[in-house]
Amino acid sequence: MWQAPGFVAEIPLRILIAEDDERLATMVEQLLDGDGRFIVVGHARDGDDAVRLCEEHAPDLVLMDIGMPGRDGIEATRAIHARDAGQHVVIYTGSDEYADVARADAAGAVGFLHKEALTSPDLPEALHVLHTNYVSSVPDPD
């Protein structure tokens, strides 16, 4: 197949969804899978599951609920980031508290979304932009 010079085929981003609400997780998965730029590689129902599945699947992006049973999203993000400081975690919550943003940032999250964004048709574009901006800001090891 002919491609214009300089064209790079876009490889779908591998996503891990960490959400304890099965119905919401299914809606998000369908929205992302239907976009074509994402492949959902796993669904964690709690923070411990998120850490384990992140190690198992090495996703490009983890979409993490802040409030989950057991280890919450902040602690799970901290554990994921401690294992791989380059892992891209986007935290979301229904809270409007700035303290949640600060805690997510301190844990190593590279993005923060309000939970209402999860059901928006704009979610795929928002995640794509967050990931692209994150990747372009990572220093080249050379």
Distance between CA atoms of 100 and 52, rounded to whole angstroms? 23
pLDDT digits (tens, 9 = 90+) for 105-116: 999 998 888 888
* Pairing mode of beta strands 89-93, 111-114: parallel
Of 3.40.50.720, 3.40.50.1980, 3.30.1540.20, 3.40.50.2300, which CATH number belongs to 13-120?
3.40.50.2300
Lowest mean pLDDT among 2-6, 15-19, 34-38, 42-46: 2-6
Please, are residues 28 and 53 in contact by the beta-carbon 8 Å criterion? no
* pLDDT per residue as tens digits for the range 35-76: 889 999 999 999 999 999 999 999 999 999 999 888 999 999
Other beta carbons less than 10 A from residue 27's beta carbon: 15
Alpha carbon distance 61, 92 (integer Å)? 13
What is the rounded CA–CA span in Å between residue 6 and residue 90?
Answer: 30
What's the pLDDT at 5? 41
Higher pLDDT, 8 or 82: 82
